[in-house]
Amino acid sequence: MDLVTQGLLGGAIGQAIGARKLGRKAVFWGTVAGLLPDLDSVVQFSNPLMGFVYHRWITHSLFFSLIIGPLMGWGLASFYARRSDIQTKNFGVWISLCFWALLTHPLLDIMTSYGTQFLSPFQDTRFRLDAISVVDFGYTVPLVFCLVWGRRLLKKGKSIQAEKIARLTLAITTLYLLMTLLIREASYHWAKDQTIIHFDIPTTFVTHPTLMLPFERKVIVQRQDQTTCVAHWHLWKGALSPWQCRKNANQLMLDKVMATSQGKMFAWFTGGDYFAESLKQGRHLKLYDIRYAPFKKPFQGLWGLEFFFDESGNVEKKPTYFRTSWQERSRLLRSLLVED
């Protein structure tokens, strides 16, 4: 989920748990704890793809929350106790606040298509539920209102009301997440019926949320003849577009790419939801992550890897990481939101 939403969620957790005993400090440190797992994105790697591997790694794990949460809570309780004339450390409140603000970060990421390595460092399985987009205002906006309203209440000394508002907001946003899971299930059953009707060869399929459109989902079908097909589905409108199908790059080229460490890493991160395009008479091969590709260009993702081949058909050198420019991303985002 986007960084702003994760910080807002952490702040709402702090307000719900500690507003009464800790005041505005609870909101501040809840926000800090909510953002803390994303510190792994600050690390720069020579291979950009490594950032996708190690972002949402150990800092997004249950292990990290269980260790850092109590330590952070104990440290804050001790720090504020030394600064106060009142010798009340509130260990339980601080530890609970820090633990839940840290833990809800990866739990929210699990709800997205990117997922997180929740059980690292013991295994590298990427847990993902494909329920909500990495940017969803329907989830974020209630958190904004919660913190703005809570700040006003805390200024007036109404900490009990601030806690209640935060708990109500967290209940509402949790119900919103449950709604996205139900929408995912509805899209799955639609896609299952459609694959039976339209495809006479074995296929695998998955449905993904679309950016900022909770009631619309993208269905990606991978057929055994190396063809990728994409359609868009809406909860009320049904199919929004006919099936669009394109053949992936030459299978021999793709096999050679997937034999490299970078190819394996890309396939692992995307969960197999990519499209391979051959360019320049088979001398280049582009892999696109198409999970958040726009409505009008379903086979062109916002980022990917480009591999190069020599005259003998062997992978020549390390792949180039590419992503679309900010101007292109803006144009693609507009095309995503405009379906005519």
- pLDDT tens-digit readout, 178-215: 999 999 999 999 998 888 888 877 678 899 998 888 89
Cβ proximity of 295 and 232 under 8 Å: yes
What share of the chain in percent tops pLDDT 90?
54
On the question of pLDDT at 316 being above 60, the answer is: yes
Backbone angles phi, psi at 213, to 5 degrees: -125, 85
| CB-based contact 238:186 (threshold 8 Å) | no
**DSSP strands (E only) in the chain:** 203-210, 213-223, 227-234, 238-239, 244-247, 274-279, 284-289, 303-308, 320-323
User: Do residues 164 and 185 touch, judged by C-beta distance below 8 A?
Assistant: no
| pLDDT surpassing 80 at residue 129 | yes
What pLDDT score was predicted for residue 46?
A: 58
The whole-chain average pLDDT of the chain stands at 88
Which tens digit of pLDDT belongs to each residue from 46-82? 566 666 767 778 999 999 999 999 999 999 999 988 8
Q: Are 107 and 157 in contact (CB under 8 A)?
A: no
Alpha carbons 186 and 294: distance in angstroms, whole number: 21
Angle at 294 (CA atoms; ends 225, 334), nearest 5 degrees: 165
Let me know: does 165 contact 153? Beta carbons within 8 Å: yes
Class of residue 326 by CB neighbours under 10 A (exposed 0-12, middle 13-18, buried 19+): exposed
Rounded distance between C-alpha atoms, residue 9 and residue 172, angstroms: 12
Count Cβ atoms below 10 Å from residue 263 Cβ, excluding itself. 22
The DSSP bridge partners found for residue 274 are 289
Q: Which residues pair with 141 in a beta bridge?
A: none
Question: Structure tokens of 69?
Answer: 């949460």
- Overall pTM surpassing 0.85 (yes/no): yes
- Tell me which residue of 184, 208, 188 sits closest to 134, measured CA to CA: 208
Of 149 and 324, more confident? 149
Question: Residue 239 forms beta bridges with which residues?
Answer: 233
